[in-house]
Amino acid sequence: MRRPPGCAALLLITACSHTPQGQRPDTTHKPQYGAWGFDLAAEDTTTRPGDDFFQRVNGGWLRRATIPADKSGITLRILMSDTTEARLRSLMEAAAAKSGSAPSDLEGKIGAYYRAFMDSARVERLGAAPLVPHLEGVRAATTRAGIASLMGRTNRDFTGAVFSSYIDVDLKNPKVYAVYLNQAGLGLPDCDYYLAPAFAAPRAAYQRYAATLLHLIDWPDAEARAADVLAFETAIARASWTKVQQRDVNAEYNPMTVTELATLAPGFDWRGYFASAGLPHIERVVVGEKTAFPKIAAIFTATPLRTLQAWEAFTIADNAAPFLSRPFADAYFEMRQRTLGGQQAQGARWKRAVHAVAGGDYAAGGRFDRFGSLGFGVGQLYTARYFPPAAKAKIEELVANLKAAYRARIEKLDWMSPPTRAEALRKLDTYTIKVGYPDHPRDYSALVMRDDDLLGDAERAGALDWQFYVDRSGGPVDRGDWLMTPQTNDAYNGALRDIVFPAGILQPPVFDPGADMAINYGAAGGVIGHELTHGFDDEGRKIDADGVLRDWWQPADAQAFESRARRLSAQYSAFEPLPGVHVNGDLTLGENIADLGGITLALDAYRASLHGRPAPVLDGLTGDQRVFLGWAQAWRGRMTDDYVRQQVVSDPHSPRRFRVNGPLRNVDAWYAAFGVTPGERLYVAPNDRVRIW
């Protein structure tokens, strides 16, 4: 999530911790929305809260809102990112103005990268030339062992692979790191895009896109090879696990030696793959989709070499396209943003430059969001200007309020036995809170950046990022690690039992320093509660207080939890964001559990912050009502139909409307706050409401 932190974060905790101030808006700041943090003019008063609370709170705004041509949606969160994006542009342009062609300091390297991206004349003159060394490498790979070796470079340059690798905490021994392997090889968002009749049009567009890129790099028989590429990926899609299957953390944890891996998935040169990945001496790996691995290896073995080479050439061009001349970038936009996301116009070049250099949340799709950025370096500049160190301690206090609310809930659960409750409370106590930015900055001293080598800059930045993980893989786990850059407009609950709130998320509507605190509890408190709850959702509950993947629940408790989770999944699967398109309640289950927990904890924490005093009434609205309004306002927005279709098959988050309506219909206090009665569309009988936390 995302925003203009500093004083926002500062006031957030002060207001929570001191009751008199906590129930008054900060009069030194004008709220961004309305007189006290909520935009009354955004409501649709013709809709009853119990029929569609999202529409009631946001319907007036939705009628007036227009999706910008260069975006796949318009939301308050996107507007927050726009604020951060403008700040990043200012930082980068200032860095570009004073950096040399091959600078040695971090700011200069950021400036050189940005200047290289903005030098469109040079990029156009070069055309496909920057890809020549990569394509020569593909042509030289005339054996399957050679192709497997190329695939090992997928984290170091623009090549693709049918198996992906990453380094993270070992879930069975959280004091060390493990090398994880997963199925890969698909250029479309999900297996359904290859197999379901509903996605025939995007499939055809993808084949045309492959042909276009192969033509641009002068690959022989481009049309025929593009058809081969689609057939190859379709075979992989048939062999792959679904995203719902991938949510089973126990099924995804399959440790084995590299020798055992070669027996499981023969025909793929695993030693050559790991050597190219910079892991020549690796002996132990954790395999994810175990039953898919032999099938994908068999597909690799049976596929003609010319198809494997064409697939690699296309994948390299696809991954590199945002950094290349206009024919590549335009084709990339048409496929990745227009066809798959419904975006009507390509973003201005400066925006794409910001996305490339800052990475993370500022991404255009494909690997552009995770490869080749200086994200953590940019974060150092961003937080130095926009996030004072004192804000970290303030936010940590707010999170403590939510943790206290969660503790109180766990202690009173009627379905959890004392042994499981004791373990749950112990786990809750182990969580660390990370706010704003990492305590230890990344080292970019060895990185070479040049203002005349855009593709090389992206490749070197990506290689340095991968090397960071390779270098530490043999050492102890760094519990201070971050997975998100400081400028990211999001938050997360990680494998380190950490809850991370980057500087970028601390803006209205998630937090507004001038707003009524009930609104801030509904929005910011809801996000904090959401992340806390992730440690105990259908996946997180399988990790214990020491970070170990094990079953620490009493059988009856696990059955009670799973029964409630199944009922919640069924509720969400009934939601229909587009005609004939349903939410996948199993895919979105973890996020839905977290949303339900988040708003529940936010309300508890707000009530506790009153210390027995009555909540103020503003414009006739009670404190409880304003907490729910804050939650619903924070999710205000709408996306293109194409984006929603992609989301429901590939994204573990429900569409925005159901992140409001879905959890609230299970919260008793919402019914009382808005007088929701039987007969209204969202009404669920008390005995049928899902109560987990």
Query: How many domains is the chain partitioned into structurally?
Result: 2
Distance, in Å, from the CA atom of 523 to the CA atom of 691, rounded to the nearest integer, reads 21
Query: In terms of domains, do 173 and 308 share one?
Result: yes
Instruction: Output the furthest CA–CA distance in the chain (Å, rounded).
Output: 76
pLDDT digits (tens, 9 = 90+) for 93-137: 999 998 777 899 999 999 999 999 999 999 999 999 999 999 999
Range of the domain at 292: 129-321
Q: How confident is the model at residue 224 (pLDDT cuts 50, 70, 90)?
A: very high
Beta strands in 267-391 (DSSP E): 284-287
Query: In terms of domains, do 303 and 410 share one?
Result: no
Check whether 394 has a pLDDT greater than 70.
no
The last residue of one of the domains, among 321, 336, 352, is: 321
Q: How confident is the model at residue 399 (pLDDT cuts 50, 70, 90)?
A: confident
Inside any domain, residue 613: yes
Inside any domain, residue 246: yes
What's the whole-number mean pLDDT along residues 203-212? 98
Check whether 641 has a pLDDT greater than 80.
yes
Query: In terms of domains, do 30 and 162 share one?
Result: no
Check whether 25 has a pLDDT greater than 90.
no
Query: In terms of domains, do 14 and 162 share one?
Result: no
Query: In terms of domains, do 268 and 405 share one?
Result: no
At how many degrees (to 10) do helices 526-534 and 623-634 cross?
70
Distance, in Å, from the CA atom of 655 to the CA atom of 315, rounded to the nearest integer, reads 30
Residue of higher predicted confidence among 433 and 591: 591
| DSSP string for 339-355 | IHH---SPPPHHHHHHH
Distance, in Å, from the CA atom of 190 to the CA atom of 651, rounded to the nearest integer, reads 9
CATH for 167: 1.10.1380.10
pLDDT of residue 256: 98
Query: In terms of domains, do 308 and 420 share one?
Result: no
Query: In terms of domains, do 478 and 606 share one?
Result: yes
Check whether 159 has a pLDDT greater than 60.
yes
What's the whole-number mean pLDDT along residues 210-229? 98
Distance, in Å, from the CA atom of 460 to the CA atom of 109, rounded to the nearest integer, reads 12
Inside any domain, residue 100: no
Highest mean pLDDT among 28-42, 317-331, 429-443, 501-515: 317-331
CATH for 669: 3.40.390.10
Chain-wide mean pLDDT for the chain?
A: 92
**Least-confidence region, from 46-60, 87-101, 170-184:** 87-101
Check whether 307 has a pLDDT greater than 90.
yes
pLDDT of residue 507: 86
What's the whole-number mean pLDDT along residues 142-151? 98
Q: How would you list the strands of the sheet with 284-287, edge to edge?
A: 163-170, 173-183, 284-287, 254-257
Inside any domain, residue 77: yes
Q: What percent of the chain has pLDDT over 90?
A: 87
